[in-house]
Amino acid sequence: MVHAENGYCIDYLTEAFIEAGKTGREYYAKSQPRILEVEAANRAATYATVTDCPLYVVHLSAREVLAVIDRYKEEGLSIFGETCPQYLDLTNQMVLDHGALAKIGPPLRSPEDNEAMWGGIKSGVVDTVASDFCGFNKSQKYSGGRSTGTIRELDHIDAHSSIFDASFGGNWTEQMLPVVYEEGVNKGRITVNKLVEVMCENPAKIFGIYPRKGTISVGSDADIVLFDPTIQHTLSADLQHCEADFTMFEGKEILGKPVFSLQRGNVVIEDGKIHTKQGLAVYLAGDVNLTASAPNGHKIG
């Protein structure tokens, strides 16, 4: 599993901007340009090819990196691409408008990159959609700096502080399914079957926990979400169950809403209310012998 960005180059660019006094939000994307994502993905795939190692590349954002994933798939490497709802719907304009709250890595890109990711999902170059969740509140986002070990609570938030002093990450899990359904299925970019494939089936197959997970079948865990495609609602931090006090999808209108979910047959949430306690998760070890039919057709092993 690889976060594909060239950290050495990012450090160099970041230090150069800081030394030049260029610490505003408009310099964040420039400190982590798309070429560094493409370079790192290609380098990781090269290493994986030489060592015959399966490779999972997380949170793809730049459209050029899709060609890297596709080429190595064609060459027979067991390589898998993941993207996230934020890279399917949001752009760098969010950083320009909201500063630290929209700082994630890789950075949000452009509308053209959003569309390319949807195309990658449809074509099979992108195998999964995940959340890349970080449950920070606003105070923690402004105080984190370049190491998660320095995250703290602030008594006063300075919205104009250095973008390089802000924490990476955002809280996307609760919005993931509605956003992917709205932008993907409702707008005709993908089918509902493809949504299930990239959010349920493929992750379970890639990580060797299929068919216990990733399918509704006899003998599989009863992990089930009931989704009502007729409910119109508005995304808001006020409705979140995590401790984060913001969402970058605030105010987004959605047609379709998850209304009920089961975890191993137990009710987790119904009509927006949690019905279970923490600590009921079970660790599952992935079994490479169960991954004989990975999404790109290559056995992992």
In which band, very low, low, confident or very high, does the pLDDT at 243 lie, cut at 50, 70 and 90?
Answer: confident
Of 72-86, 118-132, 275-289, the least confident: 275-289
What domains appear along the chain, each with residue ranges and CATH number? Answer: 7-290 (3.20.20.140)
pLDDT in tens, 20-38: 999 999 999 999 999 999 9
In contact, 188 and 269? CB cutoff 8 Å: no
In contact, 132 and 85? CB cutoff 8 Å: no
The reported pTM is 0.91
What is the pLDDT at residue 146? 47
DSSP string, 146-180: TSGGG----SS--TTS-GGGSPP-B--HHHHHHHH
pLDDT in tens, 79-126: 999 999 999 999 999 999 999 999 999 999 999 999 999 999 999 999
Q: Region 52-81: what's the mean pLDDT?
A: 97
